């Protein structure tokens, strides 16, 4: 939704087998506001425009035991690339690319449980009309400040020490 703040985004997997070997994966996103369905047509994935390497997220998964739940690194920077586009709308699709980057290990999700994209977001308080008299005092005072905490989506007024 408009004005929402993403606090965390990650993909949840269930391990298809145990693995404690080292691996680092690179995650990127397709740069479009509405990703098309993945097909078996030649070059379908390789022809898609991806985020730059500099914008990708590196993920080094911890060792897993079969059926363990494990999560990617935080994907907020990638999702913001898509959500900031003018062609993005709520309900559109997106495609994440997860590729080998370094190491000899593997992480294989189960074939019975689909990965789940988890997005934590909040919508900041925007009805400031109720705060009108208070906000005038706040704006005119050098001893107070308004802080928006993105983790909790709470605005708070703090008095400054002199």
pLDDT at 148 over 60: no
pLDDT at 126: 54
Q: How confident is the model at residue 106 (pLDDT cuts 50, 70, 90)?
A: confident
Q: What whole-number distance in Å separates Cα of residue 16 and Cα of residue 107?
A: 8
Range of weakest confidence among 14-23, 90-99, 140-149: 140-149
pLDDT in tens, 29-76: 999 999 999 999 999 999 999 999 999 999 999 998 888 899 999 999
The secondary structure of the chain as a DSSP string is -TT-EEEEEEEEEEBSS-B-S-EEEEEEEB-SSSPPPP-SSTTTTTTS-B--GGG-EEE-PPPB-TT-EEEPSP-HHHHHHHHTSTT--TT----EEEEEEEES----B-SSS--EEEEEEE-----GGGGHHHHHHHHT-TTEEEEEETTTTEEEEEEPP-
pTM (global) more than 0.75:
no
Q: What whole-number distance in Å separates Cα of residue 61 and Cα of residue 108?
A: 11
pLDDT at 118 over 80: yes
Half-sphere exposure (CA, 13 Å, Cβ side) for 55? 17
Q: What whole-number distance in Å separates Cα of residue 127 and Cα of residue 136?
A: 15
Q: What whole-number distance in Å separates Cα of residue 11 and Cα of residue 59?
A: 11
């Amino acid at each position: 939704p408009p004005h929402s703040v993403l606090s965390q985004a990650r993909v949840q997997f269930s391990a298809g087998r145990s693995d404690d070997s080292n691996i680092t994966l690179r995650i990127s996103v397709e740069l479009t506001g509405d990703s098309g369905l993945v097909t078996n047509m030649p070059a379908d994935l390789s022809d898609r425009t991806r985020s730059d390497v500099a914008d990708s997220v590196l993920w080094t998964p911890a060792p897993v035991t079969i059926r363990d739940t494990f999560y990617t690194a935080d994907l907020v920077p990638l999702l913001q690339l898509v959500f900031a586009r003018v062609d993005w709308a709520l309900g559109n699709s997106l495609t994440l690319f997860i590729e080998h980057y370094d190491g000899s290990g593997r992480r294989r999700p189960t074939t019975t449980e689909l990965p789940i994209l988890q997005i934590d977001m909040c919508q900041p308080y925007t009805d400031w009309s109720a705060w009108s008299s208070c906000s005038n005092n706040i704006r005119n005072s050098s001893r107070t400040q308004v802080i928006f905490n993105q983790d909790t989506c709470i605005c708070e007024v703090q008095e400054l020490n002199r």
